[in-house]
Amino acid sequence: MIFYLSLIILILALGAQIILRSFGIKLRNYKFLRIHEKKIFKYIFYFSIFAVFSFLFYDSYLQYSVWSQNEVTKLFLPPHQPINYFLFYVGMKFFGPYLISLVFAFLFFFVAKYLNKKYQERFFYEEEFFIGALAIFLIGYPLAIFYLIGVISIYLLAHFVLAGASKNFGERLSTYYLWLPIAISVILISEWLVGLEWWRLLKI
């Protein structure tokens, strides 16, 4: 359920990004575009947090219902066991990956914002803070680690290719168009990534 929710939100966010960018280019009003993109992706980011954790609470409720109807698993629920056992189970199984990715998302947001301000807005556009945080959060842990490695690798590869193609290349190369497509790609290949040894080592 969360898999499809995250995928749908990311696809809709990518669609909004393309539409807004096309609209802004057509109007040639980039200031208008920047202001509205930042607002829209900010709302999408906070809505995503609400939506994901709402589904996680619902999944926890379903898990409780399933356990309570089984002769064996109901022994792990009150009054046979303290509720803490069940809370620990759903916390690790359901909430853990998204709590960690949410921490990563906010960490990215504040670190990126700090570095951008320190180096005169050299690295990111304002709306990228929310776009990157959105992608990191929705991907979940440990996929977020693979995702960040993918973004950095593709960015550096593109930079070297463009620098090699043009000796005078000195323009700013933005990650603006990388965040959402790579996030969607990582989610789509997540079944393959689950089989990697790194996944087993990183998974909580």
Tens-place pLDDT, residues 121-137:
778 888 889 999 999 99
Res. 4 pLDDT band, cuts 50 70 90:
confident
Give me the pLDDT at residue 199, please: 62
160 vs 78: CA distance, rounded Å: 60
Query: Residue 30 pLDDT > 70, yes or no?
Result: no
22 vs 17: CA distance, rounded Å: 8
Peptide bond before 142: cis, by omega within 30 degrees of 0? yes
Give me the pLDDT at residue 159, please: 72
Burial, 2: exposed, middle or buried (Cβ in 10 Å; 0-12, 13-18, 19+)? middle
C-alpha separations of 37 from 19, 29, 122, 138 in Å: 10, 12, 19, 19
Q: What pTM value is reported for the model?
A: 0.88
Burial, 89: exposed, middle or buried (Cβ in 10 Å; 0-12, 13-18, 19+)? middle
Query: Residue 194 pLDDT > 80, yes or no?
Result: no
